[in-house]
Structure 1
């Protein structure tokens, strides 16, 4: 693999994980919408703690493991079933499946491939990234950066946070993102677990919230 080819692979990954890529992440708050409406998150410190927990103990960590398993050649059907089982409620499954379908549809079109469409987002990204020269740890860390960046953008608008303090929260998670990416690359399916009851409950309660700004 030449340096130019490696750079092209990294640029392709950056495109797929960019906010400009049409997966519709802006429509999903992962339960953040309810947490803010309920008054549980009022400032940058509260949001930072919530996001850190989701990344280290919730969907962030689990998604990273599912992604690296897909990159390693894991059975997409098995991984997709595990992704569904890890979602605590209907909206969270809708969140990952809707984005996964959009990701597959767009990458199939621009890469002239035919990946199966019904796929959770981390499984879809991992399956697509399998052919890249980018290490799995890097792919997982950048995936988590995109996930955290989307939630940071949402928190900037609805907490609300100033743009600088919101970005300071995200920048402060850099070591966590890198560590989670590296750990995911070393992990197996037996390492899958999730334990963020507050965030999961917020996602469940969002389903019956009277005024909803987001789909999750």
Structure 2
């Protein structure tokens, strides 16, 4: 464990993740997610799909071709709304990372990079190893989803934190899987559909 990992994974890091629910707001509004048990199922599903993919691409971006990886990630994200959300978060993370690590090769990134691609570059600039990069990625997916659920459902924050602690072994296992280099990951159609529905709303709490 390093201080850089803790700081990069901290929810207070100014990367804009708090503004996104990634379709969860629509799931709550539809009644599909009502309580902590449902949140746990959503969390596990997101971790095994979006979490694993985010981590795998972040690790690959440390040494790979960012343009190719960005295009591959775009192709693997079926929902236009989620593609837009990822690029918005990428821009927010890039703004912060450029100030914190000004000497990193940010010019290699595409003009509007996906968040996992920027995360890989930021992790490399912070001196994180592949496994810690992957852990930061899956941690970010888990805590962002949990935080959105907390705000949307008014859940007991202690119970939500206990849920995250219970899922810690799952995060460790997914991070270990992500460093193996397999970028072909599972899809989450309900999340895609929920994100597309959410994008049509005029009034909403979250940007996605």
> TM-score scaled by structure 1?
0.87
Aligned to 1:130: 124
| 8 Å Cα contact 1:89/1:204 also seen in 2 | yes
Deviations 1:112-145 (A, max 9, x none): 2350352111111112222554331222112211
Q: What is the CA-CA distance between 1:91 and the residue it aligns to?
A: 2.0
Task: Give structure 1 stretches of 5+ with no counterpart.
Answer: 1-6
Aligned to 1:40: 32
Aligned to 2:5: 13
| Residues 1:121 and 1:149: Cα distance change in structure 2 (over 3 Å) | same
| 8 Å Cα contact 1:32/1:202 also seen in 2 | yes
| 8 Å Cα contact 2:91/2:113 also seen in 1 | yes
Number of aligned residue pairs: 204
Alignment of 1:20-59 (within 5 A): 20-56=12-48, 58-59=49-50
Find the aligned partners of 1:80 and 1:29 in 2 and give their Cα distance: 22
| 8 Å Cα contact 1:69/1:188 also seen in 2 | no
Find the aligned partners of 1:132 and 1:209 in 2 and give their Cα distance: 38
Task: Give structure 2 stretches of 5+ with no counterpart.
Answer: none
Comparing 141-150 and 170-179, the one that deviates more? 141-150
| 8 Å Cα contact 2:21/2:207 also seen in 1 | yes
Taking only aligned residues, the RMSD between alpha carbons, in angstroms, comes to 1.7
Q: What is the CA-CA distance between 1:210 and the residue it aligns to?
A: 5.0
Aligned to 1:107: 97
Find the aligned partners of 1:65 and 1:171 in 2 and give their Cα distance: 22
Aligned to 1:64: 55
**Match 2:178 to one of 175, 184, 191:** 184
| 8 Å Cα contact 2:131/2:175 also seen in 1 | yes
Aligned to 2:144: 150
**Match 1:207 to one of 191, 195, 199:** 199
Aligned to 1:174: 168
Find the aligned partners of 2:166 and 2:85 in 1 and give their Cα distance: 26
> TM-score scaled by structure 2?
0.90
- Helix, strand or coil at the partner of 1:176: helix
